[in-house]
Structure 1
Amino acid sequence: MSVSVIEAALVAPSSRQLAWQEIEFYGFIHFTVNTFTDREWGTGEESPLLFHPTELDAAQWVAACKSAGMKAVILTCKHHDGFCLWPSEWTDHSVKSSPWRSGEGDLVREVSDACHEAGLKFGIYVSPWDRHERCYGDSERYNTFFLNQLHELLTGYGELFCVWFDGACGEGPNGKRQVYDWDAYYSLIRKHQPHAVISVCGPDVRWCGNEAGHTRKVEWSVVPATLQDNEKIQANSQQLEGDEFSKRIGSDEEDLGSRQVLAKAERVVWYPAEVNTSIRPGWFYHENEDASVKSTEELVDLYERTVGGNSTFLLNLPPDRRGLIHENDEQRMRELGERLGRMYRTNTAAGSRVVASVCKSDEHEGARITDGLKETYWRPSAGIEQAWLEVELGGKQMIDRIVLKEYLPEGQRIEKFHLEWFDGEKWQTFYEGNVIGYKKICRFEPIETERLRIQITESRWYPTVSECSVYWTQMEEKHEPDRG
């Protein structure tokens, strides 16, 4: 049994998935005893006395994230070593046994409060693998323990936008493998945080398949339902050792949603991709990596490929032993925010006249793609899978970026398109693309034109476009004052 093109076209995101996608760019904070042992993975035998940041400032972390344009932060509340950044009732292996804040501190509270004060959303990472807890591997007992800790996090820190699970799963002290009760975890999250997406080992958000910032040329959000199930299967069956993460089934494949894939699928779901990577080589802070912070150019490229490739971008910033985002990382985040702000400051297509080859009605006319409203969109009648839209820029403009968006409440439909510019006599093709989805940032060599055309050549049942914005990203750089 195969999935039809119309069936796939009708699959749309939940309200929580759509709200998550609109966040676009958010921060990961890895901080625990590993920061003080100079390790990436702890053993669970570390003493809580090691956790003693002397200048910790959660507001500084959040300010660094906000300066880059991030809209949310996810904190590693418990990594694989089992050390809890909140004073959990269920273990002494936490900040309450550390010298930090004289054992009275709650780092989850401080980061949550800092996010809410700064207007950023807050999310939690909590590792199901716990190398400290003695009942790990005794599946029933440990699942009860983990649910109790999860309940503390879900009910004590306000509204969460995300609960982030990885698939790490090793043997317990008894030599047995823990079988995670994913369904119970999910049920508890839905009960207490119904608006939070459950990421990676969860039903809402899919891992892109790597931690290096690689993105697919074609990233479908509508994929076979088996990809959701395989995340859970792999987490319970694949032991992870050292710094090697398991290769989750299907996550590393390039084609997850084409018509060829649909022909072999029994059911498809909305399961969009998140790309996660670190600003440094490691996930936790290491002094010897202070000179290895990604450049502004690398980060801009990552942003445009991820957010502009129908994914979201989760960038890790590891605080140092002082409890601060290092000056190099902080500066780079500020530079990134300033650069993106300049590049995407002026949309030269705002309010432009648009002519469409066909539209369903006045409500869905071509002008909807330049009106700046996310609730409006263009579409043709059902069954029309090919169409074009011409955008008049009101005079010749230099351009090198075009941002396109589909109207996701009606699904992901566009399979292939190309862009043309009018040279005064004829139309010239200058960009060829595949899927659009939530957002497609089309990057190309600068051209000067007063008219553009979006040619949609392949789509599912009918296409939609909710936005077309046009930019000359070199303009602000070009006119910056000469600083000598």
Structure 2
Amino acid sequence: MQSKTNLRLFRSTILTSCLWLFLLLSYSSVKAQNKNYVVINPSDSPSEIVRKAANVVPSKRQFAWQRQELTAFLHFGMNTFTGKEWGEGTDSPAIFNPSSLDADQWIRELKAAGFKCAILTCKHHDGFCLWPSAYTDYSVKHSPWKEGRGDVVREVSDACRKYGMSFGIYLSPWDRNSKLYGTEEYNDYFMKQLTELLTQYGKVSEVWFDGACGEGPNGKKQVYDFLRWYSLIRKLQPDAVIAVMGPDVRWVGTETGRGREMEWSVVPKENLNQEAIAENSQKEMLTVPAGDMMGQDLGSRKVIAKAKSLIWYPAEIDVSIRPGWFYHEDQDSKVKTPKELMDIYFTSVGMNGVLLLNVPPNKAGKFADVDVKNLRGFRQLYDATFTKNLLANANVSCKLLKGKASDVIDGDYDTSVRPNMSQGKAVFLFKLKNTISFDVLSVQEDIRSGQRVEHFFLEVKDANGKWQKVTQGTTIGHKRLLRFPMCKAKEMRLVIDQVREIPTISEIGLYRLAE
């Protein structure tokens, strides 16, 4: 469905400048320790630029975020009851009345499916607050739900703590209900609401902003003071990543659940079009084609050669389990199947990203049965595929500068190796006593040492003793998953033949995809 008003989403060049100024100020004080940001000098040679790129690494908060792999979005609010995707901010709070809201069920099912974090839409574009904000009457405190004494944010944050999951918040910058929207006072109002969310609900691990900026009830648009918002988050929740319209995590550029074939986390700060992000994030329906918003190459040698500075800015890949972001009963037959969710895992987490999967509760305040069934089915497929590394009993050999060869198949990300690449390549040779069947390759770099691999391939020894290439890839980063036709072999080798600097390899695995 299309919005009834002209929803041209806004992002000024001044805001873009402010974002990168904040990045520079944030990282300059610590870059000596973690090298999260580096300046490229005009006199730097191509090889020096590549060396600098190889030594940019994530901050502690970015590394913790990347290791989660699976994050859930919970779109819930007035739209759940009106059937809309974008509300106008004029619907009565009396409409919000879930009959049996069960945040415990949401988080329990997400935890069982392997998710590590849940982000709640605390306020969407309609301005309705899922917590009893002291600064507006347009909230749950004026709804019939629990006679106005309910707090959805509290129930979700408590459930996250109960199940050991991280808790994140989404607070829409756009507010179609507030009369302050479009004035300088709105930024103060937003700061007050953000402060409530960051101080009253325990630890927050992710703060998620989109670029929505339409007109408010007064017909005006808002100039957002993102820089103040970022500073407040750093002060009140210093471990939280600020995502999408923020300095820590970028939007991959599509809402299809698919990343790039070559996904670099180290990118030039100036090649990211923040205005395009603002104009295309949080579309009403998932119609944005893959790669439409940003190019397919953000960080190759060709791209970074023109950079003025480089920064660690990883990709979050969002998609909804349904066609829409909010629950609609007529979409119960269109929920993504376990196989489709598994495919998305390969094209998001398996492409050096973090998957943000939206699972919207229904009018009763629960996950629909079909959503639960398919989440459970996804986890069954995941466990059946990845529980056992088929190389676990292999004899591993590789010329190394650091570590033991067996460290790459021990299942422990923190035990890693640095291969000797004096001949321009590293060869990990695996020998097993018995033949195994496999069709999935998993490779991980310890990104705390940087993202360095530019090309690799897998070969198997055939019955005639000749090496045959099975698959190949470009970037690895935190995790790269490759699928290929079923192979049978007992001797195979992973060859890394192009790098920016000697990489740190944490895990290598072969698996058989569950059917």
Counterpart in 1 of 2:343? 301
Q: Deviations over 1:224-262 (max 9, x none)?
A: 11256x42x557789999769999999521111111101
Once residues 506 and 291 of structure 2 are traced to their aligned partners in structure 1, the CA distance between those partners, rounded to angstroms, is: 33
Letter of the 2:478 counterpart: Y
Counterpart in 2 of 1:404? 443
Task: Compute the displacement of 1:437 (Å).
Answer: 0.6
Counterpart in 1 of 2:324? 282
Letter of the 1:203 counterpart: P
Please give the secondary structure, in 2, of the residue aligned with 1:291: helix
Compared CA separation, residues 235 and 387, structure 1 to 2 (3 A)? closer
Task: Compute the displacement of 1:63 (Å).
Answer: 1.8
Compared CA separation, residues 146 and 385, structure 1 to 2 (3 A)? farther
Letter of the 2:332 counterpart: D
Q: In 2, are the aligned partners of 1:365 and 1:379 still within 8 Å (CA)?
A: no
Counterpart in 1 of 2:88? 43
Counterpart in 2 of 1:327? 369
Q: 1:71-90 maps to which residues of 2 (within 5 A)?
A: 71-90=116-135
Counterpart in 1 of 2:74? 29
The farther-off stretch of 188-197 and 167-176 is: 167-176
Q: In 2, are the aligned partners of 1:227 and 1:250 still within 8 Å (CA)?
A: no
Q: In 2, are the aligned partners of 1:364 and 1:379 still within 8 Å (CA)?
A: yes
Once residues 141 and 223 of structure 1 are traced to their aligned partners in structure 2, the CA distance between those partners, rounded to angstroms, is: 35
Q: In 2, are the aligned partners of 1:44 and 1:82 still within 8 Å (CA)?
A: yes
Letter of the 1:403 counterpart: S
Match of 1:359 among 390, 396, 400: 400
Compared CA separation, residues 375 and 85, structure 1 to 2 (3 A)? same
Once residues 509 and 167 of structure 2 are traced to their aligned partners in structure 1, the CA distance between those partners, rounded to angstroms, is: 29
Letter of the 2:507 counterpart: E
Q: In 2, are the aligned partners of 1:178 and 1:236 still within 8 Å (CA)?
A: no
Compared CA separation, residues 359 and 235, structure 1 to 2 (3 A)? closer
Letter of the 2:439 counterpart: D
Counterpart in 2 of 1:60? 105
Quick check: 1:449 aligned with 2:489?
yes
Quick check: 1:254 aligned with 2:285?
no
Q: Deviations over 1:29-78 (max 9, x none)?
A: 10001111100000011111110000110011112212322111111000
Compared CA separation, residues 436 and 236, structure 1 to 2 (3 A)? closer
Q: In 2, are the aligned partners of 1:169 and 1:239 still within 8 Å (CA)?
A: no
Once residues 352 and 384 of structure 1 are traced to their aligned partners in structure 2, the CA distance between those partners, rounded to angstroms, is: 25
Task: Compute the displacement of 1:328 (Å).
Answer: 0.8
Counterpart in 2 of 1:439? 479
**How many pairs are equivalent?**
469
Please give the secondary structure, in 1, of the residue aligned with 2:317: strand
Match of 2:314 among 235, 260, 272: 272
Counterpart in 2 of 1:207? 251
Task: Compute the displacement of 1:297 (Å).
Answer: 1.1
Match of 1:182 among 226, 231, 234: 226
Q: In 2, are the aligned partners of 1:48 and 1:97 still within 8 Å (CA)?
A: yes
The farther-off stretch of 70-79 and 206-215 is: 206-215
Counterpart in 2 of 1:373? 412
Q: In 1, are the aligned partners of 2:140 and 2:148 still within 8 Å (CA)?
A: yes
Counterpart in 1 of 2:268? 224
Compared CA separation, residues 383 and 259, structure 1 to 2 (3 A)? farther
Once residues 155 and 385 of structure 1 are traced to their aligned partners in structure 2, the CA distance between those partners, rounded to angstroms, is: 52
Task: Compute the displacement of 1:216 (Å).
Answer: 1.1
Counterpart in 2 of 1:482? none
Letter of the 2:157 counterpart: S
Please give the secondary structure, in 1, of the residue aligned with 2:333: coil
Counterpart in 2 of 1:473? 513
Letter of the 1:205 counterpart: V
Compared CA separation, residues 147 and 196, structure 1 to 2 (3 A)? same
Task: Compute the displacement of 1:215 (Å).
Answer: 2.1
Please give the secondary structure, in 2, of the residue aligned with 1:13: coil
Q: In 1, are the aligned partners of 2:254 and 2:292 still within 8 Å (CA)?
A: no
Counterpart in 1 of 2:12? none
Please give the secondary structure, in 2, of the residue aligned with 1:395: strand
Once residues 497 and 86 of structure 2 are traced to their aligned partners in structure 1, the CA distance between those partners, rounded to angstroms, is: 49
Identical aligned residues as a percent: 47
Counterpart in 2 of 1:132? 177
Q: Deviations over 1:144-167 (max 9, x none)?
A: 000000000011111111101011
What TM-score do you get using the length of structure 2 for normalisation?
A: 0.87
Q: Deviations over 1:81-138 (max 9, x none)?
A: 0000000011111000000011000100001111111121111111011111101100
Match of 1:312 among 354, 366, 371: 354
Letter of the 1:461 counterpart: E
Once residues 282 and 360 of structure 2 are traced to their aligned partners in structure 1, the CA distance between those partners, rounded to angstroms, is: 22
Q: In 1, are the aligned partners of 2:113 and 2:379 still within 8 Å (CA)?
A: yes
Q: In 2, are the aligned partners of 1:211 and 1:275 still within 8 Å (CA)?
A: yes
Once residues 246 and 371 of structure 1 are traced to their aligned partners in structure 2, the CA distance between those partners, rounded to angstroms, is: 40
Q: In 2, are the aligned partners of 1:384 and 1:462 still within 8 Å (CA)?
A: no
Please give the secondary structure, in 1, of the residue aligned with 2:436: strand
Q: Deviations over 1:187-245 (max 9, x none)?
A: 111111111111100111110111122321111111111256x42x5577899997699
Across the aligned residues of Structure 1 and Structure 2, the Cα RMSD in angstroms comes to 2.3
The farther-off stretch of 236-245 and 203-212 is: 236-245
Q: In 1, are the aligned partners of 2:256 and 2:286 still within 8 Å (CA)?
A: no
Please give the secondary structure, in 1, of the residue aligned with 2:505: coil
Please give the secondary structure, in 2, of the residue aligned with 1:290: helix
What TM-score do you get using the length of structure 1 for normalisation?
A: 0.92
Once residues 286 and 221 of structure 1 are traced to their aligned partners in structure 2, the CA distance between those partners, rounded to angstroms, is: 35
Compared CA separation, residues 260 and 422, structure 1 to 2 (3 A)? same
Once residues 192 and 114 of structure 1 are traced to their aligned partners in structure 2, the CA distance between those partners, rounded to angstroms, is: 21
Q: In 2, are the aligned partners of 1:382 and 1:461 still within 8 Å (CA)?
A: no
Q: In 1, are the aligned partners of 2:211 and 2:279 still within 8 Å (CA)?
A: no
Task: Compute the displacement of 1:266 (Å).
Answer: 1.0
Q: In 1, are the aligned partners of 2:53 and 2:266 still within 8 Å (CA)?
A: yes
